[in-house]
Amino acid sequence: MRERIHSYFGFAKKSRNLISGYNTCLYGIQKRKVKLMILASDLSENTLDKFRRLCEREKIQYRICLTAEQLSLYAGEEGKGIFGITDQGFADVICKEIDLMK
């Protein structure tokens, strides 16, 4: 399962449908571009609560999974724990894979 998520992250990044970082994701949500938020399980409680409430208010799917280190590795970035998917197709398939992983 994790290999598939890793692949989908790579495809999303290559097609510019993956955004990362706190401020970039907030901006994407405000512009209504984000279809799925992926949050690392080891983020601070305040950050998780903020994004959880924001996603629920804006009716955006979100998943909390893996660690920031693992997600950063999948995305080819360093030190990021917040990711947004801006394509509905990628959002659906990644969400499905994350749900199967649990």
Taken as a whole, the chain contains a residue count of: 102
pLDDT class for 4, splitting at 50, 70, 90?
A: confident
Structural fold of domain 2-101: 60s Ribosomal Protein L30; Chain: A; (3.30.1330)
- Domain assignments of the chain as residue spans, ordered by start: 2-101
Average pLDDT for residues 26-47, to the nearest whole number? Answer: 94
Residue-level pLDDT at 1: 57
Q: What stretches of 15-65 show up as alpha helix (H) in DSSP?
A: 22-30, 45-58
Instruction: Give the tens place of pLDDT for each residue, 40-93.
Output: 999 999 999 999 999 999 999 999 988 889 888 888 888 889 999 999 999 999
Residue 37 has pLDDT above 70, yes or no: yes
The sign one gets for the Cα dihedral 67, 84, 87, 56 is positive
Residue-level pLDDT at 35: 95
